[in-house]
Amino acid sequence: MDSWTEDRPFKDRFLELFKIARNKHATVADLAIKLQEEVQWNIEWSRPPNTDFEWLQWSGLLKELNKIKSLTGKDRWGWVNEKWDEFLVAGVKELINKQSVTEQEDRWIHWNSWVPAKIIYFTWRVGIGRIPAKKELRRRGVLLDNYICSRCRIMEETTEHLINECMGAVSVWKRIIGWMKLPATADISSCKKTLAYADDLKGSVEWKKIIKVIMQATMWHLWKARNEKEFSGITRSEDNTVDDIKTDTFLWLKSRSKLKDLVWERWEDFNIRDIVK
Q: Residue 261: which of 249, 269, 273 has the closest Cα? A: 273
Of 80, 10, 69, nearest in space to 43 by CA: 80
Q: What is the Cα–Cα distance from 149 to 161, expressed in whole angstroms?
A: 8
Say which amino acid occupies 22.
R
148 binds Zn ion (CB under 5 A): no
Please classify residue 256 by burial: count the beta carbons closer than 10 Å to its beta carbon, then call 0-12 exposed, 13-18 middle and 19+ buried: middle
Residues 161-190 close enough to bind Zn ion by CB under 5 A: 166
Q: Which of 152, 180, 201, 275 binds Zn ion (CB under 5 A)?
A: 152
Residue 193 CB, nearest distance to Zn ion (Å)?
A: 19
Which is closer to Zn ion, CB of 125 or CB of 151? 151
Q: Toward Zn ion, which CB reaches closer, 28 or 167?
A: 167
Q: Residue 154 or residue 196: which is nearer to Zn ion going by CB?
A: 154
Q: Minimum distance between the CB of residue 134 and Zn ion, rounded to whole angstroms? A: 11
Half-sphere exposure of residue 233: CA atoms within 13 angstroms, side-chain side: 0
Q: How far is the CB of 190 from Zn ion (least distance, A)?
A: 15
Query: Binding to Zn ion by residue 134, rule CB under 5 A?
Result: no
Q: In this chain, which of 65, 96, 149, 191 binds Zn ion, going by CB under 5 A?
A: 149
Give me the residues paired with residue 21 across strands: 45
Residues that bind Zn ion (CB under 5 A): 149, 151-152, 155, 166
